[in-house]
Amino acid sequence: MHNLVQIAPALAKVLCVPRFYVLAICDLMPAMKSAFQTVALIGKYMNPETREQILALARFLAERHIGVFIEENTAQHSDIKGYTTLKMSAIGAYADLAVVLGGDGTMLTVARALLDYQIPLVGVNRGRFGFLTDINSDHMLESVAAILDGQFETEQRILLEAYIVRNSQVVGQGYALNDVVVNKNGLARLIELEIHIDGCFVQKQRSDGLIVATPTGTTAYSLSAGGPILHPTLDAIALVPICPHTLSNRPIAINSASEVVIQVVHAEDASVHLDGQMKLALQPGDRVQVKRARNTIALLHPPGHNHYDVLREKLHWG
């Protein structure tokens, strides 16, 4: 439709009719159907520049007759008015697509919050690395337009579900798109952990902790701890020890259908972290049970997305 309006003068000349005839026909023609009818915008509102990009994207979507929702905290902290706002917990029930403007940390929060609704996510990078938010903010409108027109690649990412069990009672539960980490806090002492996989004893280890990472999380904390990089579509998870006392204690990759149980044998100051954003203190005897979550998160990438290009750029492989 937009292209017809642009070429209306030339088309009127060819057809030998007044220009307003062509424009009137354009107005009567139905707009091109978008792949998504309602879009929620969620931003890293601590960054002032993000506000302008959210507004630009909201106006762009409205011009295409797409329903626009702004996440409640994003609208409040960015002082955005004139658009319907939704709590994060309500976005999944009303939006067909969520566009996240921020860094990977923002995307992790949104992915966990919307996991049960299975609406696809698009990430516009306003952070540092952008492994998950891979759309360049300078080309945001062009990339979003292509996605709305159905030009995108879909990638399913697995998450982990963790239960913290104390005296046979579940005292905590949550999800992680990147990793579940059991580690020591401030004390400069090793903690002792016992690891079982699918009911089989694997090892006891004395270390600073253990990372259980999804393929997505293998480019995060796991990478810094010397873990392997797994392609994001692999059905696998990585177990990566953090500074183990025994140097032969190496990272391993296992099937994502496996259940990992980490028991705290001895620790004076230990905790479990989910995506580095949720934390619970642990006591000796506590067990952290980790398994693959039932649902996955769909990330939409612009056409031509290549994971190896992302690795080469972000990790400066040359």
- Tens digits of residue pLDDT in 22-42: 455 555 444 456 889 999 999
Please provide the average confidence, as pLDDT, over all residues in the chain: 89
Q: Give per-residue burial for 267-289: e unless 16+ CB within 10 Å, then b.
A: beebbbbbbeebebebeeebbbb
* pLDDT on residue 287: 98
Kindly report the number of other CB atoms within 10 A of residue 102's CB atom: 26
Is 70 exceeded by the pLDDT of residue 16? no
% of residues, the chain, pLDDT over 90: 73
* pLDDT on residue 2: 41
Q: What is the mean pLDDT of residues 66-72?
A: 96
% of residues, the chain, pLDDT over 70: 88
Is 70 exceeded by the pLDDT of residue 186? yes
- Tens digits of residue pLDDT in 114-150: 999 989 999 998 766 678 888 888 889 999 999 999 9
> Which residue in the block uniquely carries the two structure tokens 């990478």?
223
Res. 19 pLDDT band, cuts 50 70 90: low
Q: What is the mean pLDDT of residues 226-242?
A: 96
Residues 180 and 162: their CA atoms lie apart, in Å, by: 7
> Which residue in the block uniquely carries the two structure tokens 């630009």?
56
Res. 11 pLDDT band, cuts 50 70 90: very low
* pLDDT on residue 176: 98
Is 70 exceeded by the pLDDT of residue 179? yes
**CB-count burial class (<10 Å; 0-12, 13-18, 19+) for 247:** exposed
Q: What is the mean pLDDT of residues 165-179?
A: 97
* Residue 200 neighbours by CB under 8 Å, 6+ apart: none
Q: How many CA atoms lie within 13 A of 300 on its CB side?
A: 23
Question: Has 104 been annotated as catalytic?
Answer: yes
* pLDDT on residue 312: 93
**pLDDT greater at residue 200 or residue 5:** 200
Q: What is the mean pLDDT of residues 233-239?
A: 96
In the numeric block, which tokens belong to residue 43?
């931003």
Is-contact 215 236, C-beta < 8 A? yes
Q: What is the mean pLDDT of residues 157-178?
A: 97
* pLDDT on residue 252: 97
Residues 293 and 277: their CA atoms lie apart, in Å, by: 18
Is 90 exceeded by the pLDDT of residue 71? yes
Residues 211 and 3: their CA atoms lie apart, in Å, by: 52
The domains found in the chain, sorted by start residue, are 31-152+302-314 (3.40.50.10330), 159-294 (2.60.200.30)
Residue among 104, 208, 275, 286 flagged as catalytic: 104
- The three-state (H, E, C) secondary structure of 115-139, written as one string: CCCCCCEEEEECCCCCCCCCEEHHH
